[in-house]
Amino acid sequence: MGKQLDISGVTWDEADIGQRVRMLCQGVPDKKMDQNKLEKLLEIADPQDQIKLKVLHNAVVGTFKAYNDEHTTTKLKDWKSAEVALDAFIESLWNKHFDGEQPLNNLQDVLAYLKESGWKITKTSLYRHQKEGKLQPLQDGKYHQRNIDKYARTFLKQQSTGKRLQEKADELQHKKLDIEIKNLEIDNRRKQRADDKEAGLYILRKQMDLEFAVLAGTLDAALRNWVQSGTADWIRMVNGDIKKAVELIMVLNRDLDGHLRDLSRDREYEIIIDPEEDEPESEPGEEEDL
């Protein structure tokens, strides 16, 4: 077996910053990573970068497990490629947020930087936030980009969405929960239907259609026979006198009621369920349960 990657039972979404740091260090065991550096990076990384870190970390874990299960050159290559991608992204984030960063001289420069970065902000709001202590300058009066970015993510809305990053993340989380709840409800309904079907509470539409067809055929045959057998009696009854039309109608309605009563009587249906063979799930467009 190869090296063992110690992955705890805590998922990335459940982990705090310290646990995520340990996950990332475990993800690239061949390279000693600066945990303080990672902790600073995770504190300032925006939600999108956090998601990418999660994806790259999971890729390392997945490819490592695949290599441990089967030592092949291809799986080893996949694992090492995932490690390189994670390490490279961490370095790019560090360079983005910390290396080569030039502080901004004044609030006017901060305002221009924020607008160029896609944040909704006015001069009045920025100056008010600075007085309220939401954005503090360095000792020399300049403003560090790292602090500006943290201020923007905490207090400002994005121009593209009109929402704060946390609001956007909360909205996505709510949508995810709604989808999960709907899927659970669908799954519960499916299980309930299966239980009801096993208990004989459902009849296949094809069976009901067949019963309706039989009833319709019975009604058709009965009415046709009634007309053929009763015509002579009806003619004799009225003796060609149209004044007796009312009497004829009453007789016809009486006989028709008799036929309909025969068809509407209670019937028993026999349902046979094979205990050894489950009914296959119906595909769209095939038989449906009533």
Q: Is residue 125 domain-resident?
A: yes
CA distance 64 to 195: 42
Q: Do 67 and 85 belong together in one domain?
A: yes
In a domain, 281, yes or no: no
Based on the domain organization, do 148 and 80 belong to the same domain? no
For the segment 118-152, what is each residue's pLDDT rounded down to a tens digit?
889 999 999 999 998 888 887 678 888 878 888 88
pLDDT tens for each residue of 228-251:
777 777 777 777 777 777 777 787
Q: Is residue 290 part of a domain?
A: no
The domain of 36 spans 17-97
Read off the pLDDT of residues 59-104 as tens digits, 9 standing for 90 and up: 888 888 888 888 898 988 888 888 888 888 887 777 776 655 677 8
Domain for residue 268, yes or no? Answer: no
Calculate the CA 114 to chain-centre distance.
34
Residue 274 lies in a domain: no
CB burial readout 212-224, b (16+ within 10 A) else e: eeeeeeeeeebee
Give the pLDDT score at 123: 92
Per the structure, the count of domains in the chain is: 4
With respect to residue 258, please indicate whether it lies within any of the assigned structural domains.
yes
From residue 98, alpha-carbon distances to 4, 45, 147 in Å are 33, 11, 11
Give the three-class secondary structure for 289. strand
CB 107 within 8 A of CB 130: yes
Is 210 contained in some domain? yes
Same-domain pairing of 177 and 198:
yes
My answer on whether 153 and 173 are in the same domain is no
The pLDDT score that the predictor gives to residue 166 is: 64
Q: What is the pLDDT of residue 283?
A: 45
